[in-house]
Chain A
Amino acid sequence: AQSVTQLDSQVPVFEEAPVELRCNYSSSVSVYLFWYVQYPNQGLQLLLKYLSGSTLVKGINGFEAEFNKSQTSFHLRKPSVHISDTAEYFCAVSDRGYSTLTFGKGTMLLVSP
């Protein structure tokens, strides 16, 4: 069975500061990894995904994530956040493809002026 741990339920940060949202997973097989963002009163939107190849993945809105197999991590980073990045971020893992996504509990990113 696979699982996802998002270590921080909330991350407060000031505007223009860098941020890292942590995600660790467990799985007995090769995995696909995803980060989704959920803005208030909206559904989830894909930020980026790792399927294979380069371990550094770039996504939308200036976000990137790095797959680290030895540490079973897929942390999300942004060098300079904006107020508009305030949202909840979900890490997800799949070992068979999109239809078997397992989500973490989410991390609320709170960006203040």
Chain B
Amino acid sequence: ETGVTQTPRHLVMGMTNKKSLKCEQHLGHNAMYWYKQSAKKPLELMFVYSLEERVENNSVPSRFSPECPNSSHLFLHLHTLQPEDSALYLCASSQESGLVTEQFFGPGTRLTVL
């Protein structure tokens, strides 16, 4: 148990669907992240939230929309996705304290876009 949970674990959606990925951290951390993991490519940082405010957005297409209602929850809203968006989406959290600390990862949501 890593303390970071993600639901659903698997998701299949059509290009016209709207769905949301959910992440919850039980570690009392104040920063949360979304990563995209595609085969044969490095993990790509998509979004960073610190103290519930977005602090980094690495030029992610607008069909991905994050939401961080509080420090324990993070959502990734999906709409009109493309087949190339199929990947493993990982959530992570960490405690921002001015020191370098560890990011704790969830198990991921395996997304398939048809």
Is A74 part of the binding interface, using a Cβ–Cβ cutoff of 8 Å? no
User: In the complex, A94→B102 CA distance in Å?
Assistant: 12
Query: A44 touching B90 by the CB < 8 A rule?
Result: yes
Selecting from B63-71, B74-82, B93-101, the interface stretch reads: B93-101
Asked whether A4 lies within 8 Å of B42 as measured between CB atoms, the reply is yes
| A14 at interface by CB-CB < 8 Å | no
Interface residues on A, range: 20 to 34
B55 in contact with A99 (CB, 8 Å): yes
- Nearest chain A CB to B60 CB, angstrom units: 16
**Whole-angstrom distance between the Cβ of A106 and the nearest chain B Cβ:** 8
Chain A proximity mask over B46-57: 1 for CB below 8 Å, otherwise 0: 001010000110
Among listed A20-28, A45-53, A65-73, A75-83, interface-contacting one: A45-53
Given known pairs A43-B105, A43-B106, A45-B105, the reply for A102 and B42 (CB within 8 Å) is yes
The 3 closest A-B pairs by CB, nearest first: A43-B105, A103-B43, A44-B105
Supply 7 A–B pairs (Cβ within 8 Å), ascending by A: A43-B106, A44-B90, A44-B92, A99-B31, A99-B96, A105-B40, A105-B41
